[in-house]
Structure 1
Amino acid sequence: MPKCRACGKYTANADCVRCSKCSNVYHRGCCSVPAGPIPVGFACQSCKAKPADYVSSENSSPGEEINAPGKVEADCTRMLCQLIQEVKGLRTDLKEARIEIQQFKADLQACCNRIASVEQKVLEVEQKLVTKSCDNAHLENTIADLKIQLNERDQELLLNDVEIAGLPEQRSENVLHLASLVAVKLGLTLEERDVVHAERRGAVRRNREDGEGAPQRPRPLVVRLARRAQRDALLRAARVRRGLSTADMDLAGEPRKIYVNERLTQSNRQLFGKAREAASRVHWKYVWTRGGQIFTRKDDGKSVERIRNEGDINNFFV
Structure 2
Amino acid sequence: MPGIKCGGCGRFTSTQDGVKCGKCLAHYHRACVGVPIKAALSAGWRCPECTKGVVRDNRADTPVRGTSECTIKKSAEQVPFTTAVGSKPVSPVAYDSAPRAMSYTDNDCIKIPPVSATDASAIMEELRAMRAEIQSFRKEMELEMAGLKVAMGSCNDRIDRLEARLDALEQRASDPPKPGAAEELIEDLMRELNDRDQALLVNDIEITNIPEASADNPAHVIQVIGLKLGVSLDERDIVSAERVGGRQLNATGSGGAQEARPRAIVVRLARREVRDRLLASARVRRGATTADLDMPGPARRFFLNERLTRTNRQLFRKARDAASLTDWKYVWTKRGRILARRKAGDATHWIRSEADISRVFGPVDTV
Q: Same fold (TM over 0.5)?
A: yes
Match of 2:263 in 1: 219
- What is the root-mean-square deviation in Å for CA atoms of aligned residues? 1.9
- Map 1:17-56 → 2, pairs under 5 A: none
Aligned residues between the structures:
187
Match of 2:347 in 1: 303
Cα displacement (A) at 1:316? 1.2
Match of 1:192 in 2: 235
d(CA) in 1 for partners of 2:286, 2:251: 26
Match of 2:191 in 1: 148
Which secondary structure does the structure 2 equivalent of 1:215 belong to?
Answer: strand
Alpha carbons 2:204, 2:306 under 8 Å: kept? yes
Which secondary structure does the structure 1 equivalent of 2:194 belong to?
Answer: helix
Q: 1:291 aligns with which of 329, 335, 340?
A: 335
Match of 2:247 in 1: 204
Unaligned 5+ segments in structure 1 are 1-129
Alpha carbons 2:251, 2:257 under 8 Å: kept? no
Q: Which amino acid aligns with 1:295?
A: L
Cα displacement (A) at 1:208? 9.8
Alpha carbons 2:249, 2:257 under 8 Å: kept? no
- Map 1:1-318 → 2, pairs under 5 A: 131=176, 134=178, 137-206=180-249, 213-318=257-362
Alpha carbons 2:247, 2:259 under 8 Å: kept? no
When residues 286 and 208 of structure 1 are mapped into structure 2, their CA distance, relative to the original with a 3 A threshold, is farther
When residues 207 and 296 of structure 1 are mapped into structure 2, their CA distance, relative to the original with a 3 A threshold, is farther
Q: Deviations over 1:225-282 (max 9, x none)?
A: 0000000011000000001100111101111101000100000000000000001011
Cα displacement (A) at 1:300? 1.3
Alpha carbons 2:204, 2:275 under 8 Å: kept? yes
Give the structure-1-normalised TM-score: 0.56
d(CA) in 2 for partners of 1:186, 1:301: 29
Cα displacement (A) at 1:215? 2.9
When residues 232 and 299 of structure 1 are mapped into structure 2, their CA distance, relative to the original with a 3 A threshold, is same
d(CA) in 1 for partners of 2:205, 2:332: 15
Give the structure-2-normalised TM-score: 0.49
Q: Which amino acid aligns with 1:183?
A: G
Pick the structure with more helix per residue: 1
Identity of aligned residues (%): 48
d(CA) in 2 for partners of 1:273, 1:209: 27
Q: Deviations over 1:85-123 (max 9, x none)?
A: xxxxxxxxxxxxxxxxxxxxxxxxxxxxxxxxxxxxxxx
Structure with greater contact order relative to length (CA < 8 Å, sep ≥ 6): 1
Cα displacement (A) at 1:206? 3.8
Match of 1:44 in 2: none
